[in-house]
Amino acid sequence: MQNLPRRTSNRGPLLIRRAAVAGASLAATLALALAACGSDDPTVASGPTPAAAKTRIEQAAHLRLAAEQVPAAARDQGLRASYSNAGTAVKDKQVVGLFVMKSAGVADKVSDLVRSSAPKSAQLIVNGKVMVVYAAAGSDRGAAVERAVNSL
């Protein structure tokens, strides 16, 4: 019987890839949820700009977020901006999806649907018109991200 070298498993990158895929599918779910819910809230709540929310989340998570394309239907229903670190999630060892809605009412309508489709390891943090999906596979900065979202 020949002794073959054992292959050691490095689950970290696999976990991140799965989380990155989950993050991308959450973005798609959010777009569909917006289309399904519609927006009957004619008022636009004041709150942070998408750029301010992005900066605050980047600082808390110690990473850079890239703008994601917002489908026209989702924009019509109230999604103002979408950012993620999908391109660098493996290196970052965490997945962050930031969604800025036109109002807190829109965020409330879609948060339950997004929460039900998120992986169990992911956090969904909602404050006003800002929604963040966060999952860590390395250093967990979820508490800092939550404080950042709640400060917006």
At 46, the pLDDT band (50, 70, 90 cuts) reads: confident
Q: What pLDDT was estimated at residue 18?
A: 52
- What value does the CA radius of gyration of the chain take, rounded to a whole number of Å? 17
Least confident of 5-9, 105-109, 116-120, 139-143: 5-9
Q: What percent of the chain has pLDDT over 70?
A: 70
pTM for this model (two decimals): 0.74
Q: Is pLDDT of 148 > 80? A: yes
User: What average pLDDT does the structure give for the chain?
Assistant: 79
* 12 alpha carbon, distance to own chain's centre: 19
Q: Is pLDDT of 44 > 60? A: no
Q: Is pLDDT of 75 > 60? A: yes
Q: Is pLDDT of 26 > 60? A: no
In the chain, where are the structural domains located?
11-151
